[in-house]
Amino acid sequence: MEDAVRTELMEALHPIVKRKELIEAAPMSRYTTLGFGGPAELLCEVSTLEQLLEILRITHRLGVPVNVLGNGSNLLVKDGGWQGLTLHLGEHFAEVGLPEALPDGYYTITAQAGAALTKLANAAADAALGGLEFAAGIPGTVGGGVVMNAGAYGGEMKDVILSVTCATLAGELKTYTNAEMAFSYRRCRLNEPGAQPEIVVSATVALIPGDEETIRVTMREFNARRREKQPLNQPCCGSTFKRPTGRFAGTLIDECGLKGLRVGGASVSTQHAGFLINDEEGTAADYLALIDEVQHIVLEKTGVLLEPEVHIVGEELSEDTR
């Protein structure tokens, strides 16, 4: 952003944001599970809803671009970094409420966007509420899980969401029902082409009472399957590609003999071909080149074009900084 705008933004933010919560040139390697990416021009740790809304009103007035960062588990920031103001909805914006009964026998739990999906799943299990077992090992946040309609082992967020509250970039709140969110495979109204930008601030799930031990056993089984089949000890973003209709991305990549394929510091996991990993301190450029290579080979051999599931943002590294 221009120096004058940056100065005005900093002056407007200082009364509502603590100095330690504003980080200049924050390296995205520290904020994403892939472990690489250029710096966020300015990053703000958000701690309250009121603070978030006021920040959005300020950025809207000044015309400053706004980015949203959760756990960074499905995010690839290019080597040139992320321009504008990046709002980190993390551990300081992660409250999970207590269960509340509904007339139909279900119970609701409301969680802020920065809460880990595992935290929400465990809160449900503590209350002997079933339906979120699938989310026990997903490494993202509630906000990211809603936007991507995160799912695993036959369950998806759309199965449990009752309502979602969002903030517009002008700092206004809107609440949507499950139907209004228009969930589909790894999509919802918030990431449809042409959608007006909005930020998830909280989500309310509706869950059915069950047996706590049965719920815990299911969660442990899902997590054991993840540990056995997925490279959880390697920097990655989970499944790199979306599931093609009627097929599995990992199976297609494996059938094409691409396990272990490497570009620079990034490679196709030998444990699960659907996971592209940063196992040798690679760059975003390495990872993107590997994505391109896998797409090209799979398309050539199978006729299937794999679509990235990882959210790719930021700027390419400029020539004068290489």
**pLDDT digits 0-9 by tens, 251-298:** 999 999 999 999 999 999 999 999 999 999 999 999 999 999 999 999
244 within domain boundaries: no
The number of domains in the chain is 3
Instruction: Please give the average per-residue pLDDT across 224-230, as a whole number.
Output: 92
- Residue 320: what pLDDT? 59
Query: Is residue 238 in a domain?
Result: no
31 and 76 Cβ atoms separated by less than 8 Å: no
What's the whole-number average pLDDT of the chain?
96
CATH code at position 84: 3.30.43.10
CATH number for the domain that contains residue 303: 3.90.78.10
At residue 61 the predicted structure's pLDDT band, cuts being 50, 70 and 90, is very high
pLDDT of residue 322: 54
88 and 99 housed in the same domain? no
What average pLDDT score do residues 107-122 get?
Answer: 98
Q: Is the pLDDT of residue 15 over 90?
A: yes
Do 221 and 99 share a structural domain?
yes
- Cα 137 to chain centroid distance, Å, stands at 14
pTM: 0.94
Asked if 272 and 213 sit in the same domain, the reply is no
Domain limit, last residue, from 229, 260, 276: 229
Catalytic residues: 186, 239, 309
In this prediction, residue 307 has a pLDDT band, given cuts at 50, 70 and 90, of very high
pLDDT for 143-184, tens place per residue? 999 999 999 999 999 999 999 999 999 999 999 999 999 999
Model confidence band, residue 318 (pLDDT cutoffs 50, 70, 90) = confident
Q: Mark which of 63, 92, 121 sits at the end of a domain.
A: 92
Indicate if the pLDDT at residue 319 is higher than 80.
Answer: no
232 band by pLDDT with thresholds 50, 70 and 90? confident
Q: Do the Cβ atoms of 166 and 200 come closer than 8 Å?
A: yes
Tokens of 265: 């510091």
Same domain, yes or no, for 191 and 255?
A: no
The C-alpha atoms of residue 198 and residue 315 are separated, in whole angstroms, by: 21
In the predicted structure, residue 51 carries a pLDDT above the cut 60: yes
Of 75, 78, 86, whose CA–CA distance to 1 is shortest? 86
Structure tokens at 208: 């059915």
Confidence of residue 321 (pLDDT cuts 50, 70, 90): low
Host domain of residue 77: 3-92
Range with lowest mean pLDDT among 117-121, 252-256, 275-279, 317-321: 317-321
Asked whether residue 219 is domain-assigned, the answer is yes
DSSP per-residue letters across 86-134? EEE-SGGG--B---EE-TTS-EEEEEETTSBHHHHHHHHHHTTEES-GG
Q: What's the mean pLDDT in 95-119?
A: 98
